[in-house]
């Protein structure tokens, strides 16, 4: 009999996180999707995916993360997707903004991985972690220094953790999306988005479902670990 698999997706009520929760559910996972704020996104997500367990949890709150993961029967796949954007010239970034971005984008990944690993090691059957970084974590983005730094930290953390956990049969990988149709890009005008698309070799922005499929792949392959998979339409080669 095939073993039931359990997955946790953070930032699971919209965009990449929602698409990932939906795909994992369709692939037979029992999915828990965490989110930070009540609102229309959470309500819509619950209605669209009634079989997914949506739970509110702030990934920067260690007690909340610990309670969330300890409440799961087991954990086979962790997807660290929760994140925030920041768009400003460096001279205009306050220390509090820098720390906010790092705390969510890098600190949240650390806390979720820390407690997920405890759960996986306790069960003793290995597991998989997929962190969501960004093309800007690889190349740097103009006027996105805080965001780029936080996503670069996710990449370095992924590689270090992969080495640490390989003997325990826990894989750790990372997807680095390019420009994707999500609310994170809602601040751009249609003209700005068209200009972005002109710089992408395949000629279009990506869709959340395309990132979700990459996450499923990385979470399913036991001989792939420590890798950064760019899903960016050729924007970074």
Q: Which helix (H) or strand (E) holds 132?
A: strand 127-132
Q: What are phi and psi of 75, to 5 degrees?
A: -145, 115
Do strands 77-80 and 53-56 pair parallel, antiparallel, or not at all (unpaired)?
Answer: unpaired
Strand pairing category for 127-132 and 77-80:
parallel
**Residue 223 is among the residues annotated as catalytic for this protein:** no
Closest-CA residue to 68 (of 82, 58, 83) = 58
CA distance 191 to 86: 20
The catalytic residue among 6, 29, 35, 147 is 147
Compute the distance between CA of residue 218 and CA of residue 26 in angstroms, rounded to an integer: 16
What is the spatial distance between Cα 37 and Cα 81, in angstroms, rounded to a whole number? Answer: 15
| Residues marked as catalytic | 147
């Amino acid at each position: 009999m095939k073993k039931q698999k359990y997955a946790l997706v953070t930032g699971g009520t919209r965009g990449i996180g929602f698409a990932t929760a939906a795909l994992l559910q369709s692939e037979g996972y029992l999915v828990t999707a965490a989110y930070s704020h009540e609102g229309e996104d959470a309500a819509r997500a619950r209605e669209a995916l009634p079989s997914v367990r949506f739970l509110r949890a702030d990934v920067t709150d260690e007690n909340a993360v610990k309670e969330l993961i300890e409440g799961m029967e087991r954990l086979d796949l962790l997807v660290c997707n929760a994140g925030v954007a920041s768009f400003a010239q460096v001279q205009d970034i306050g220390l509090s903004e820098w720390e906010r971005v790092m705390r969510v984008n890098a600190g949240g990944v650390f806390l979720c991985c820390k407690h997920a690993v405890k759960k996986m090691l306790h069960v003793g059957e290995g597991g998989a972690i997929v962190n969501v970084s960004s093309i800007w974590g690889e190349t740097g983005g103009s006027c996105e220094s805080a965001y780029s730094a936080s996503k670069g930290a996710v990449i370095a953390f992924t590689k270090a953790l992969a080495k640490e956990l390989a003997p325990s049969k826990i894989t750790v990988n990372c997807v680095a999306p390019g420009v994707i149709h999500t609310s994170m890009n809602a601040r751009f005008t249609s003209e700005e988005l068209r200009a972005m698309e002109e710089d992408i070799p395949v000629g279009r922005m990506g869709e959340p479902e395309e990132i979700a499929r990459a996450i499923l792949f990385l979470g399913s392959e036991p001989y792939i670990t420590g890798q950064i998979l760019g899903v960016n339409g050729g924007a970074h080669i």
